[in-house]
Amino acid sequence: MSYKVLVSDPLADEGVDILRGFCEVDVKTGLSEDELVKIINEYDGLLVRSGTQVTEKVINAAEKLKFIGRAGAGVDNIELEPATKRGIIVANAPAGNTLAACEHTLAMMASLARNIPQATASVKKGEWKRSKFMGVELNDKVLGIVGFGRIGQELAKRANALEMKVVAYDPYINKERANELGVEVMTLEQLFPVADFITVHTPLIKETKHLINKDTIATMKTGVRIINCARGGIINEDDLYDAIVAGKVAGAALDVYEEEPPENSKIVTLEQVITTPHLGASTVEAQQNVAVSVAKQCIEVLKGGSAKFV
Ligand code: NAD
Ligand code: MLT
């Protein structure tokens, strides 16, 4: 039996090559929903990153489709209910970019503490403003990790090496693992008032939507710094904007936004806010890992087997 797979977002060659050893592969990126609807019927498998929106309309037009793979954590851009109804297996690659996202969070935290992006822009403009960019040390500061899963735990290990005091909240926390890592488990109500840096590493679900908002910010330390390299929407950006302008929050580091790209967002205009365009998983290593993982799962499913990360 010969199969055809469509890769509709940029995927590392290592994954595409594995697929090409098994079946015919078309790489067509930047398709609109209508363009995808027109061609999807030819394919047995569809591999995406975050650009392609796999909507109900696309799924309903995909009569042969058996597998949708997302080369990344989460399946936010895939409509699961219609896929499940049609018996299409949806899988992702949740662990392949853990270290990349963790290291990006660390880089954002250090940059935020020392105003590195703002100072870089200033020097490039020909300025030399040493007192303007006074920073704070990470050493001895309390890092509050909200969401103690794969990325949260890797971050705790690295924060320990920086001699930060790490506290964490997760409703499903593995207390033994937290103890091993020297992390103090807290409720959110305990964590918010004691943390100097707060970083969120949860999925965006009903319970975490606007978890950081004007009411929770009010309970935080004045001068807290907030980092989101998880999902836009966990922080209420308007409330964070107001809190920064009021001097309650000293600054924020954002990789993800309520709307991406954040074209109409006022939060990105603040000098105290440092920003990257959803780069958490953007390392060569992570992109190879996730591409290989979804390619292998696709082949398994087309052979009649099951996917590892459904
Ligand atoms: P994970 O599933 O391993 O961990 C998420 C943790 O959040 C789990 O331990 C879960 O129990 C916890 N959680 C669930 N509900 C919660 C709540 N109400 N409050 C606090 N914690 C809660 O996921 P991960 O691989 O560590 O990824 C974390 C986040 O980072 C996800 O949103 C993922 O999509 C995102 N991510 C972003 C990038 C990027 O490019 N910026 C890259 C990779 C992952
Ligand atoms: C992920 O979900 O893996 C990350 O947000 C990165 C991406 O979308 O590629």
Q: What pLDDT score does 306 carry?
A: 85
Pocket test for ligand 1, best of 92, 169, 170 (most atoms within 8 A of CB): 170
Residue minimizing CA distance to atom 3 of ligand 2: 72
Q: Is the CB of 100 under 6 A from ligand 2?
A: no
Residue 93 C-alpha to ligand 2 middle, in angstroms? 9
Report the alpha-carbon angle 117-121-123, nearest 5: 115
Q: What pLDDT score does 113 carry?
A: 98
Concatenate the DSSP letters of all residues of 188-257 into one string. HHHHHHH-SEEEE-----TTTTTSBSHHHHHTSPTTEEEEE-S-TTSB-HHHHHHHHHTTSEEEEEES--
Mean pLDDT of 28-49: 98
Compute CA distances 174 → 152, 185, 198, whole Å.
12, 9, 20
pLDDT at position 224 over 90: yes
Confidence of residue 308 (pLDDT cuts 50, 70, 90): confident
Mean pLDDT of the chain, nearest integer: 97
Q: What pLDDT score does 75 carry?
A: 94
Mean pLDDT of 144-169: 98
Q: Is the CB of 231 under 6 A from ligand 2?
A: no
Relative to the alpha carbon of 148, which ligand is closest?
1
pLDDT at position 310 over 90: no
CA distance 214 to 115: 24
Cis? peptide before 193, omega within 30° of 0: no
Confidence of residue 192 (pLDDT cuts 50, 70, 90): very high
Confidence of residue 59 (pLDDT cuts 50, 70, 90): very high
Q: What pLDDT score does 240 carry?
A: 98
Q: Is the CB of 276 under 6 A from ligand 2?
A: no
CB count, 10 Å around CB of 109? 24
The answer to whether the beta carbons of residues 247 and 222 sit under 8 Å apart is yes
Relative to the alpha carbon of 108, which ligand is closest?
1
Confidence of residue 58 (pLDDT cuts 50, 70, 90): very high
Measured in degrees and rounded to the nearest 5, phi and psi for residue 275 equal: -140, 145
Percent of the chain with pLDDT over 70: 100
Mean pLDDT of 281-302: 98
Mean pLDDT of 1-22: 96
Q: What pLDDT score does 309 carry?
A: 78
Report the alpha-carbon angle 237-98-219, nearest 5: 35
pLDDT tens per residue, range 246-263: 999 999 999 999 999 999
Residue 230 C-alpha to ligand 2 middle, in angstroms? 9
Q: What is the ipTM of this complex?
A: 0.99
pTM for the predicted model, two decimal places: 0.97
Q: Is 306 helix (H, G, I), strand (E, B) or coil?
A: coil
CA distance 171 to 179: 16
CA distance 36 to 42: 11
Confidence of residue 1 (pLDDT cuts 50, 70, 90): confident
Residue 203 C-alpha to ligand 1 middle, in angstroms? 4
Q: Which two tokens stand for residue 266?
A: 């006022």
pLDDT at position 95 over 90: yes
Q: What pLDDT score does 307 carry?
A: 83
Instruction: Name which of 106-110, 182-186, 304-308 the model is least confident about.
Output: 304-308
Residue 139 C-alpha to ligand 2 middle, in angstroms? 30
Ligand 1 lining (C-beta closer than 6 Å): 73-74, 94, 97-98, 101, 146-152, 169-172, 201-203, 207-208, 229-231, 255-256, 278, 280-281
Q: In what order do the strands lie in the sheet with 142-146?
A: 184-185, 165-169, 142-146, 197-200, 224-228, 249-254, 273-275
